[in-house]
Every structure is written in structure tokens, then in C-alpha cells.
Amino acid sequence: MEVGEVDESTVVEEALEEATVVQEAMEESTVVQEALLELSREARELYLGGLPGPGGVHQARVQEVSSPPSALQFLRRHVSPNLPLVVRGGCAHWPAVASWSPAALRAALPATQVTVAVTPTGLADAAVGEQFVMPEERRMTMAAFLDQLEEPVEGEVYYVQRQNSNLTEELGELLGDVTELPWASEAFDRPPDATNFWMGDERAVTSMHKDPYENIYCVVRGHKDILLQPPTDLPWIPYRELTPAVYKQEGGVWSTSPTGDPPLPWVAVDPLRPDLATFPLYSNSTQLRCRLGPGDLLYLPSLWFHHLTQSQGCIAVNFWYDMEFDVKYNYFNLLNNIKKTISNRL
Amino acid sequence: MEVGEVDESTVVEEALEEATVVQEAMEESTVVQEALLELSREARELYLGGLPGPGGVHQARVQEVSSPPSALQFLRRHVSPNLPLVVRGGCAHWPAVASWSPAALRAALPATQVTVAVTPTGLADAAVGEQFVMPEERRMTMAAFLDQLEEPVEGEVYYVQRQNSNLTEELGELLGDVTELPWASEAFDRPPDATNFWMGDERAVTSMHKDPYENIYCVVRGHKDILLQPPTDLPWIPYRELTPAVYKQEGGVWSTSPTGDPPLPWVAVDPLRPDLATFPLYSNSTQLRCRLGPGDLLYLPSLWFHHLTQSQGCIAVNFWYDMEFDVKYNYFNLLNNIKKTISNRL
């Protein structure tokens, strides 16, 4: 063959080779989506349970016990397999459950300053349009905060939700009414990293998110409705990039101003009213719901998605324990990296 | 436009759309391989340790302690994160460690029948050419087996390796010399599913595989060299389909005959002498090695790959406990399903 001459068989061979590579890639893409579907199906089959509910989203139950587990049982059946647990009456022995009421708090802490999250709608740390809006943080006395809870005003929602261990940092006077759960601290082999106090308006909603902490969430007064989704649902939970901003109320008028921070990915779906036309793959996921009353607690495992609503004046205390960055975390990151391959279909 | 006329802009649009789909699929394929690489990198960074050794395969150490952990510690630090542990002297208190010797076994069990795996090379349950060859199983007295160990013959390797709880089933007389490890049974919350006795020729090799069991592997006499690889290495460990067959020796001549069972996928690489030219992706994996001496034990977590060799006449006892089919198993199956997308490159 002369130099410069085109060898037709080589051209055909190359084209065939390219077609094979392309076909393999297409097949791989389907294999990945099927593998992710199988992950969620198998999770239901092996340990979540759950049946399709309205719109196809699966509904399952959180396991419940009526007395605290031993540290060994808790570790074996819940922490190791990363499975939530409701302990009915798990903190019912706390003096807090018997004694904390608005009147008692007013009497005990009249002049104590607390940090309160204030928003026009109850949505704090949540998507509002294209923004991720954080609440206006106001320092006020406990008495002033309780006034707001007792006579709620349209367009002003108050929620004590500061997650800087505010029970130990701001409300030390109350610490004696709450005790660590020994089975939890023994299982985790460490004291809590933070102890947070939560009290607020029934309009306040905690939008769906996950935390890199093991969480023991205790209701002292009123009730909390908690919706949970397992980490293995990550591929079906749509995120979008939002511009961080903060609420500000001036002269009775609310505005938001961007913080200047880079865009933040946040869960785009409302799990209580999922828009399945926009997010059809969300129906592959599984929701677990529970209501905690006074004295009840939930073990909310690390990396589980959660969404919370509450009754008016509900009071809760939660303990955050550092999580282990073990093979489960390692696999979760794999899932997050693989999710990118199907994100254009979410 | 007339019926039958070709709309050029539609053709171009469709071609562009197809090109986009193809490009996306190609990118996804790269994303998956990168995600799997990141899984192994992060595993080393977070909990395996390890540095590249000869040929690039990473080498790390099994964690060791010199006294048994509590059940809670064992569960928290090893079972929950699925991490191996060597307990030096963990079964040194067994009467078996003080008393089991060829002479003592001969005296105690002269006429007891044992099932012995016999092969020409020491490779039992292993790839030989295109076959997966199982050993010839012979029933013989303990005395006859010990004769073979004491005067080994070229081309005949004897190994007591029957994994049907042979210590309880065939060698009940020895049971009193061995005790369950209470910290293990307490952590797993169950008695062992099987207790196996191992004794054999130094030429016997247990080829790399994994078991769906939690394993407590105890050396009574001699030593075992164990090579481990974590479940997250699955994508880099090549398998191939082999035809099941069984060894048979007749008139001093060895042959193999297919069992007629369907082909079996088996690990294709020899971890002691990996052929990296044939299996280049194997160098992304991590090997952990340990040598167990008399009285030492290894917690060999479920789904970890393992390969074993031993000293002449080495005796070991292992306990298999049922594993939990939890989120770690669920994620491992995801990995297995996703591995298919890169298997054409292995």
C-alpha cells in the first residue's frame, strides 16, 4: 500500500471499535442505574421494610422499644447497622419532662439571654426560591421569647434551634434537669460532642438534611413529627445549588441578603409533598415516620436524612456524638460519587 | 414542508441529541471508575492504612492487641466497622494449646475416623487450569492421617479442612480442650454456627476467597500466614468462570473429573505472586498480612478476602458465626453490581 493511501479495512475496524466502546459505555450507564435501584430494593427487603405509598414513595416504620436497650444491644442492633430506634419513655425519668413548662422556664430564667432564629414563615436553613436562607439570629431574654410563643404574630416565627451546644453554653441553669443516656454514651464510648435545646413555634419546619453525627433526639414537652430516609436513598433525593442568604427584618419588613458564600447544594424535594412530576426518581426512596411525645427519644443514625415539624411550644433536647468515619461512610461517599452518573436524570 | 421531505434541521438536532447521550454515557463510565478508585483510596486513608509495595499493590497491617477486647469494644471497633483484629495469646489459655501434638492426638484418637482432603499439589478448592478443582475426600483414621503428615510423600498432600463443623461432628473427644471466646459470642449474641478443626501439610494452600460468616480463627500449634483484602477491593480482584471438578487418585495416578455443576466464578489472581501484566487494576488493592503463632487468633470479618498458608502439621480451630445482612452487605452487593461496568477492563 502506498504512503497516503487510505486503508478501508482499517477505517471500518476503527469505526467498529469506536461503536463497541460507545455501546459498552451505554450499557454501563444502565448497569449503574439498575445497581442503584437494587440497592434500595434490597435495603427494604433486608432491614427497612416498607410498601409503596401514595405516588409510589415507599413507607416504612421506625423500630420501637418500650425500655432502653443495653449499650451492647444498642451498638449491635442499631449503631453498627445504622438503623434508627424509637425508645418510648427513654427520657421520661428526666426532671425536665416533669417540670419544664413555659411558666416554669419563665420563672427559672427570666433574664437569661438566648439566641433565637426568627423567620417570616418558619423556614430556617431552607430553600426559598433560588436562595438557601438562614434565619435572623436575635439575642433576647427567655421571657421575651416565651411572650412570642404565647402570642404568635403573623409573619414572625421564633425558634430556639442553635446547634452550638446551646443547652450547655446558654442555658446552664437547666442542665441539672437532663441527664446523659448512659447506654448511648457507653455504646459510643464518649461523651456527647454537643447538647442542644430546641423550643419553638409550630410553624417552624426543619427542612430535609443529614448530619455527620450520631444523634439522640429527646422530646421533653409537646410532640415532634420526624420523617427519616436512609443514606442509601441518596441517589433518589434531588439536590440543587442555592445562593446562601440571611433573613433580616427592618421596620416590620422582611428581606434577604446573600452572604457572599459560594452556592450550596440543598435537598430540592419537600418530602411531605414530593413533586413527583419534577422528581420522578424520588419514588424509588423510602420514608420512615415517627411521632415522639414527652419522654420519648429517637436514635437518629448518622447520615440519615431527616425532616422535622412540631407542636406549638414543643421542647426537645438532643445529643450529638461524633460519628465513626468507617466503611459505611466510605460506601456512602461512593454512592455520592456514583450519583453523579444519573444526576442528569434527577 | 411537503410530506416525505426531509427536514435537515431535525436530522441535525437528532444527531446532536444522540451525540450528547453518547458523550454523557462515556463520561459516566469514567465517573464510575474514578468513584471506585476513590473508595479504595479513602479506605486506606480512613481505616486501613497502607503504602504501595512491590508492583504498586498496597501493603497494610492488621491491628493487634495483646489481650482480648471486651464484647463492647470488639463490637464497636471491629465488628461494626468490619475491621480485622489479631489477638496475640487470645486462645493461649486453651488446654489444646498446651496439649495437642501429633503424638497426643495419636494417643487420644487412634481409631477415630476423620475426613481428609487429598490433592496432588496442596491446591484444594482452587483454580487448576480452567477447572475449579475440589479435593478427593478420604475417610481415614487419625493415626493414618498423622502417618502421612509425619512422612510426606511427593504428589500427595493431606489436609483436614472440612468445614462442616468437623470438630463437633467428627472429633467430639477434643471439644473439652477448646472453649468458646465469651467476648466474641457475647458481641455476636449467638453461639458459633460451626466449629472447624484444621490440620495439615505445609504444601496445602487455601486459595483466595471470602465467606459470608464472621470468623474467629485460632492457631493451636505451628503457624498460619494469612493474607487479607477488604471487601472494598472487590472491583480490583479479577474473577474467572471455572468448570467445577474433583480430584481422584487411582493406581497412584491423579485425574480430575467435572462434577457437572455449572461454571463457578473464582478469584483469578494469586495474591502472593500477582500477575500485574494480566491484571493491572489489581494494583489498586490493599493487602494486609499477619502470621498467627500458637495461642494467637484473628477476627476475620465477613466478606473479607483471605488466602492462607501454614507450617507443617499446623493445627487451627475456627468459629463461624452467622453474619448480619445489614447495610454493609447491601453496599457490598452494590459494589458487585457496579463492578460489572469495569469488568471488561479487568
Tell me, yes or no, if B278 comes closer than 8 A to chain A by beta carbon: no
Q: What is the mean pLDDT of residues A104-128?
A: 94
pTM of structure: 0.91
Question: Which chain A residues in 35-54 lie under 8 Å from chain B, judged by CB atoms?
Answer: 35-36, 38-39, 42-43, 46-47
* pLDDT given for residue B28 in this prediction: 64
Residue A2, amino acid: E
CA distance to A49, A177, B64, per residue, from A98 (Å) = 35, 9, 48
Taking 50 as the threshold, does the pLDDT of residue A337 lie above it? yes
CA distance to B158, B280, B341, per residue, from B344 (Å) = 38, 12, 7
CA distance to A29, A159, A246, A252, B340, per residue, from A256 (Å) = 41, 18, 5, 13, 49
C-alpha torsion B1→B4→B10→B16, nearest 10: -160
Angle at CA of residue A70, ends A66 and A75, nearest 5°: 110
**Minimum distance, in Å, between the CA of residue B240 and any CA atom of chain A:** 20
Mean residue pLDDT across chain A: 93
Residues of B in contact with A337 (CB under 8 A): 31, 34-35, 38
CA distance to A99, A151, A162, B12, per residue, from A294 (Å) = 11, 23, 21, 65
Among chain A residues, CA nearest to B27: A341
CA distance B221 to B292: 10
Q: What is the mean pLDDT of residues A41-45?
A: 98
ipTM computed for the complex: 0.91
- Domains by residue range for chain B, with CATH: 53-326 (2.60.120.10)
Pair type for strands B85-87 and B63-65? parallel
Question: Which chain A residues in 185-244 lie under 8 Å from chain B, judged by CB atoms?
Answer: 186-187, 189, 230-232
Q: Are B29 and A24 inside 8 Å of each other by CB?
A: yes
What is the mean pLDDT for each group of 10 consecutive residues in chain B (346 residues)? 57 68 66 94 97 91 98 98 98 98 93 95 93 96 96 95 89 94 97 96 96 98 98 97 97 95 96 96 96 98 98 97 98 95 61
The single residue listed with the C-alpha cell 413507607 is A59
In three-state secondary structure terms, A207 is strand
In three-state secondary structure terms, A327 is helix
CA distance to A273, B144, B249, per residue, from B252 (Å) = 75, 17, 6
* pLDDT given for residue A267 in this prediction: 97
Q: How far is CA B134 from the centre of its chain?
A: 16
* pLDDT given for residue B1 in this prediction: 45
CA distance B28 to A338: 8
Torsion A120-A126-A130-A131 (CA) sign = positive
Residue B204, amino acid: A
Q: Which of A284, A324, A331, A336 to mutate to test the interface with B (most CBs of B within 10 A)?
A: A331
CA distance B343 to B346: 5
Taking 90 as the threshold, does the pLDDT of residue A47 lie above it? yes
The single residue listed with the C-alpha cell 426531509 is B6
Taking 50 as the threshold, does the pLDDT of residue A163 lie above it? yes
Tell me, yes or no, if B15 comes closer than 8 A to chain A by beta carbon: no
- DSSP line for B92-111: TTSHHHHH--HHHHHHH-SS
CA distance A304 to A281: 18
